[in-house]
Structure 1
């Protein structure tokens, strides 16, 4: 029931496309654009190529980011995010976080999911190439991104717990918590930046969890 409601809401956000051609990805668009592809074969040997183009900017009219669906290179539809585009055999689900994409998946009618293929020139595509060509380096980067998140979020939560515990109803109930960690402002700022960098790196791999949400 919840899934049906979500699909109905997503359908209301979809607008028809204008048929314009899909613009190629340019290197200078790395910070400003994400582009993913989904080739789906037909039984007669042909295939339809879907592309999802996500500019990293808000819509000037509605204040929300939009995703654009292209079919065989032509603009077919657009939607405010989160989006669920009906395509052959299922839907393409797209969602973003504060740090980038957290979802761009093809979901079949049977519930099977797979991520779309990032354009090789995009930031997500370049990160995927590191994973393919340099798996050891990729694992090290992934480990560091999680470590930066854990350290940044963990230490900041410890320091935040003390002023929260001084609120009278909380103090009366459980007492005042004294944080064992007191960091200078510059180090707190550096930890926050590190957590943001870690979450951004994970977003390039479409990884998202409660830890990333806390890092926001």
Structure 2
């Protein structure tokens, strides 16, 4: 039931597009724009090309909408995120996190899900190409990213419990806990940075994980 209400809310956010044509993806937009493609068959026997253009620096106050849907190069819908764009046979769900995209999926009416294809020059496209050319190295990077995120979580939880048990009222009932993890100053700086990079790597692969709120 929650998914149904969420879908209705996301569909209600969709506004008509302005009919403008899709701008070409430029290399200097690498960190500010994501572009994904989906081809869907038409009942006439032909097919339509749907493209989702996400502007990471845009919001409700900017001229460009955070997300726009183009059909055969023409803008048909625009919306704030998260959103579900209606397309033949289902919807395209789009959502972001603080580290990038976490949702770019075509969800069919029967519940099937398919990830859209990223533009080859976008961050997501470059990461997908690297995964295709160097699958073993890509898998190692993915595993390392997860390990870094788990390490950061363990450190954060340990320090949080230590701080909590130092509160007098709680300490009277549970005693105090001293974290066994003691990081040098350089590690206290390096770990959050590494965690942000790891979370971004997961986002570039659109890997859904609770570790990064996705």
TM-score range, shorter chain: over 0.9
CA contact (8 A) 2:19 2:75 kept: yes
- 2:86 aligned partner: 86
- 1:175 aligned partner: 175
TM-superposed deviation, 1:152: 2.1
CA contact (8 A) 1:153 1:195 kept: no
CA RMSD of aligned residues (A): 1.8
Distance 2:2 2:80 in 1: 20
- 2:125 aligned partner: 125
TM-superposed deviation, 1:148: 1.5
TM-superposed deviation, 1:60: 5.1
TM-superposed deviation, 1:43: 4.2
Secondary structure, counterpart of 1:124 in structure 2: helix
Q: CA-to-partner distance for each residue in 1:141-183, whole Å, 9 max, x for gaps?
A: 1111112212222223222321122223432332211101122
Distance change (3 Å), C-alpha of 1:139 and 1:10: same
CA contact (8 A) 1:156 1:188 kept: no
Greater CA drift, 53-62 or 147-156: 53-62
**TM-score with structure 1 setting the length:** 0.92
- 2:193 aligned partner: 193
| Count of aligned pairs | 212
Distance 1:32 1:79 in 2: 17
Q: Which runs of 4+ in 1 moved over 3 A?
A: none
Greater CA drift, 9-18 or 88-97: 9-18
**TM-score with structure 2 setting the length:** 0.92
- 2:22 aligned partner: 22
Distance 1:172 1:203 in 2: 43
Note the residue ranges of structure 1 that are not aligned, 5 or more in a row. Answer: none
Distance 2:180 2:6 in 1: 44
Secondary structure, counterpart of 1:77 in structure 2: strand
Secondary structure, counterpart of 1:6 in structure 2: helix
TM-superposed deviation, 1:61: 2.0
Secondary structure, counterpart of 1:183 in structure 2: coil
Q: CA-to-partner distance for each residue in 1:13-67, whole Å, 9 max, x for gaps?
A: 11111011111111111111111000001244310111001111141528xx721
